Amino acid sequence: METETETGASAPGAAEGLTRGQRREEGLRWFADFIFQPFLWVFVHAHISPNLITILGMALAIVSGYLLATGYVPLAAVFFTLSGILDLVDGYVAKKMDMVSVFGSFLDSVSDRVSDAAIYTGLMVYYLKRAEGMYVGVALAVFLVSFLISYVRARAEALDVTCRAGLMSRPVRMLLLAAGLFFNGLSPWVLKVTLWILLVMLAETLVSRLVEVWRAMER
């Protein structure tokens, strides 16, 4: 899980005075801590390395991308969801086991980019095989904007600037895409509409973060 979602729960009072983006992330942390508590218990008590969890999550995302490329969308949805769960809990496990490290953060960031590339490449091949060039382009655009959002945040944090604005944090976009994949069986338009929603909301997030960084650096 990338830096923007990598935490344990914070005290409720700590949310006071936070920006809207920070408050949203704080809420996500509390929600994730509640939902994924059983997974945390298993991983921590089994002494499974958080780096191993990260690598496994990346491997599942690659499998999901392959399944998308070969047309097995329902099965791809299952692997993508499992990958997302591991992506969300690795940072929590690292904190619980007191194994937070610079290399772990680096590995996590690389894993996120590889996972995104696998999923969206799978989607592009999926639509390419169906001669739906427009959605090959939409999937590519979603991937590129997602990458830019992560790059902008990384550069901003290197300059000690907060960069959390926008509607589309990584957990939200993973949840939205998982829903689109699962319900694609109802109609091919479900996944197509999901990709358009992702593109619009990701574009809003990218612009919001650029503006946030610009305002912070102009002070």
Domain boundaries, the chain: 16-218
- The pLDDT tens digits for 93-104 are 888 888 888 898
pLDDT, position 24: 59
Q: State how far Cα 182 lies from the chain centre.
A: 17
pLDDT, position 4: 47
pLDDT, position 171: 85
pLDDT, position 35: 67
- The pLDDT tens digits for 141-168 are 999 999 999 999 989 988 888 888 888 8
The CA-atom distances, in angstroms, between 46 and each of 19, 43, 50, 97 are 37, 5, 11, 11
Residue 209: which of 58, 37, 50, 19 has the closest Cα? 19
Record: fold of 16-218: Four Helix Bundle (Hemerythrin (Met), subunit A) (1.20.120)
Specify the pTM: 0.82
